[in-house]
């Protein structure tokens, strides 16, 4: 029981911070944080192999030396990527959960969750790579509006709320996707109501036209009879 609790608990010397951010601006915020705070040796977790490669390439374009490690890379390429990261040649190492298993980086100062894991326990494993041997560490999570459910599950596991910070100029503007109204039957009902209203308006318009036509016909008849009486007189 004690062992299970330890596996689901982050080390007290690891500070945890959440930055709410629009999904499309995550890379921009990450580059800003690394550059403005002069972070060195940053381990970044991405959800997919393709996403890891793309992020590393984008950070390189931003002037931040980066490399990626994942299952599609050869053993030689992974060994080189890890060696470049440990030596400081690469400032950022982007990894998937599977590729990061067994990574042992002494005194790693920063872990960034670029994508939150779907399994809450994976979050604890990720941030457990910093703050080892009594050293302090920072765990930063960039949380999009579609990741609030994962964040709640992680906080439930930790039995605590993670500190939230807002970086000026990078505040999240999009809402949680779960709050978006679903189409389903409600959408069908709205379409049906619109159709009924349209048909009702068409019927009312048709009825008014028929009434107007009848009134015009009666007016013509009355005018004809009046003219006939004047002629007889």
Of 76-80, 124-128, 155-159, 207-211, the one with minimum mean pLDDT is 207-211
Average pLDDT, the chain: 80
Instruction: Determine, yes or no, domain membership for 123.
Output: yes
More confident position, 49 or 179: 49
- Residue numbers of the domain that contains 145: 2-178
Instruction: Determine, yes or no, domain membership for 209.
Output: no
Instruction: Determine, yes or no, domain membership for 92.
Output: yes
More confident position, 191 or 94: 94
More confident position, 81 or 217: 81
**Banded pLDDT at 210 (limits 50, 70, 90):** low
Residue 217 has pLDDT above 70, yes or no: no
Instruction: Determine, yes or no, domain membership for 173.
Output: yes
137-143 β-sheet, strand order = 66-69, 92-95, 42-45, 110-113, 137-143, 14-20, 163-164
Q: Determine the pLDDT at residue 102.
A: 75
Residue 30 has pLDDT above 80, yes or no: yes
Give me the mean pLDDT over the 51-75 stretch: 95
Q: Determine the pLDDT at residue 200.
A: 53
Burial of 133 (0-12, 13-18, 19+ CB in 10 A): exposed
pTM metric for this prediction: 0.73
Instruction: Determine, yes or no, domain membership for 80.
Output: yes
Instruction: Determine, yes or no, domain membership for 82.
Output: yes
Summarised one tens digit per residue, pLDDT across range 145-189 is 999 999 999 999 999 999 999 999 999 997 654 433 334 444 444
Q: Domain total for the chain?
A: 1
Contact (CB, 8 A) for 7 and 76: no
Supply the CATH number for residue 105's domain: 3.40.50.300
Give me the mean pLDDT over the 71-92 stretch: 93
Summarised one tens digit per residue, pLDDT across range 100-151 is 887 878 889 999 999 999 999 999 999 999 988 888 999 999 999 999 999 9
Instruction: Determine, yes or no, domain membership for 205.
Output: no
Instruction: Determine, yes or no, domain membership for 105.
Output: yes
């Amino acid at each position: 029981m004690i062992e299970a609790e330890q596996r689901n608990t982050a080390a007290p010397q690891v500070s945890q911070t959440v930055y709410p951010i629009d999904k499309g601006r995550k890379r921009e915020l990450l580059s800003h944080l690394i550059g403005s705070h002069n972070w060195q040796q940053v381990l970044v977790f991405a959800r997919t192999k393709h996403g890891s490669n793309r992020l590393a390439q984008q950070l390189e374009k931003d002037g931040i030396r980066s490399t990626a490690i994942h299952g599609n890379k050869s053993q030689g390429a992974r060994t080189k990527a890890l060696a470049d990261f440990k030596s400081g040649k690469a400032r950022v190492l982007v990894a998937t959960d599977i590729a990061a298993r067994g990574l042992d980086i002494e005194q790693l100062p920063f872990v960034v969750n670029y994508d939150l894991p779907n399994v809450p326990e994976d979050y604890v494993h990720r941030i457990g790579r910093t703050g080892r041997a009594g050293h302090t560490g920072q765990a930063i999570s960039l949380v999009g509006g579609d990741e609030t459910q994962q964040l709640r599950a992680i906080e439930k596991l930790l039995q605590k709320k993670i500190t939230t910070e807002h970086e000026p100029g990078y505040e999240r503007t999009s809402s949680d996707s779960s709050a978006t109204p679903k189409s389903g039957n409600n959408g069908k009902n709205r379409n049906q109501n619109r159709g009924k209203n349209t048909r009702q308006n068409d019927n009312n318009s048709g009825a008014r036209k028929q009434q107007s036509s009848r009134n015009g016909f009666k007016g013509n008849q009355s005018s004809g009879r009046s003219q006939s009486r004047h002629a007889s007189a």
